[in-house]
Structure 1
Amino acid sequence: MPEFHALSLLGVSVQQLTQSVKQLSALPHIGEQRIRLVVDPTQVTTAAQLVKEGQLPAIIVSVAGYPTGRHHTLIKASEARLAVQSGAEEMWVSVDESIEDSNTHLSELITIREACPDPIELGLVANGDDETPSGTQAAVQAASLAGFQRIIVKRDAPELVDAAAPLEVHVVDL
């Protein structure tokens, strides 16, 4: 599995975002490794500009439908597309894991893939909750079919690793 480092800046102010990116820019570069900066959709433009100014080896990641996934599909797709047009290189999408029908998830995730065509990388945010295991499994299967690259889990969920193949699974503190 490739190296994967993500720094969640979700919910921070513009001042905190600016300070965090400047601090990262002052650190010694880590060669070919690029850190993922996860930002709110409204802060993509600012983050992209700060990364460019600081010549920071970073990938701007934004979220759609976060945190609950209980947004209309077209709203999520629009949110993702706007973030990409603003400078996001990767999108992480939340879905409603209480839905157990994989076709419903597949329809939504394909819509988002169409809104964010290659080379934009897509990740599915999976809670891995014990409360919605079949809904999570259905979403993970749909993500693989819809052309997503990875599954992002908020806590260690070993049962998702097998279900997600061939997608990458990464544990990230969002």
Structure 2
Amino acid sequence: MSDFHALSLLGASAQQVEKVVKELGSLPHIGNQRVRLVVDPPQVTLVVQLLKESQLPVIVVSVAGYPTGRHHTLIKASEARLAVQSGAEEIWVSVDDTITDSNTHLSEFITIREACPGPIELGLIAPADANAEPSAQSAVQAASLAAFQRIVSTPGAPAFEEATSPLEIVEVDL
């Protein structure tokens, strides 16, 4: 795993988000890596404004289809696009862990990639359930083909081998 720093504020209130952003300014420098701040789509505008005011070098990440991935593809793509238009630089996508067909995943990921063209980075939130292994493998294959940059794995989730995927694998406590 790479030297990757992300702080999840998923589910946090606006007041909690404001407090954390203000506290970020007092954190020590973390190497050459910019910290990623993961927020719910409706909070992107607030976070971008707070970061602009404080001039902090933070990457704003939002999610699409979180947490279950059981959203219609167009809803995920719209959610991702709105977050990008609000200032998110990266989108992490949840997948429906009951889908094992890589073509279904690929169709969804291409739709999201079209809604969020480069330089926006995309990440696949890997299913946390070990029983979702077939879905996870087909989703990883599709994400790679759809020009995603990374797999976001949660602590305790089934491990992905770096060699099995050309995507960067990062572990984040969502």
TM-score, structure 1 length as denominator?
0.94
Equivalent-residue separation in structure 2 for 1:100 and 1:158 (angstroms): 16
- Structure 1 residue runs of 5 or longer lacking an equivalent are none
Residue 159 (structure 1) shift: 4.3
Point out where structure 2 has 5 or more consecutive residues left out of the alignment. none
Equivalent residues in 2 for 1:146-165 (5 A)?
146-157=146-157, 159-162=159-162, 164-165=164-165
CA RMSD in angstroms, aligned pairs only: 1.5
**Structure 2 Cα separation of the partners of residues 36 and 164 of structure 1:** 25
What SS does the corresponding residue of 2:62 show, helix, strand or coil?
A: strand
Identity of aligned residues (%): 70
RCO higher in 1 or 2 (8 Å CA, sep ≥ 6)? 2
Match of 1:125?
Answer: 125
Q: Name the CA distance, whole Å, in 1 between partners of 2:154 and 2:30.
A: 25
Contact 1:153 1:171 in 2 (8 A): yes
Offset at 1:127?
Answer: 2.0
**Which residue does 2:109 correspond to in 1?**
109
SS of 1:132's equivalent in the other structure is helix
- Would you say the 8 A contact 2:129–2:158 is kept in 1? no
**Equivalent position of 2:72 in the other structure:** 72
The C-alpha deviation readout for 1:10-52, integer Å capped at 9, x for no partner, is 0000000000000011223335321000000000000011111
Question: Does 1:5 find its partner at 2:5?
Answer: yes
Contact preservation (8 Å) 2:130, 2:158: no
With the length of structure 2 as denominator, give the TM-score of the two structures: 0.94
| Number of matched pairs | 174
Distance, in Å, in 2 between the alignment partners of 1:164 and 1:92 is 20
Secondary structure at the aligned position of 2:131 is classed as: coil
CA-to-aligned-CA distance 1:45-98 (integer Å, 9 cap, x gap): 000111111111100000000000000000000000000000000000001011
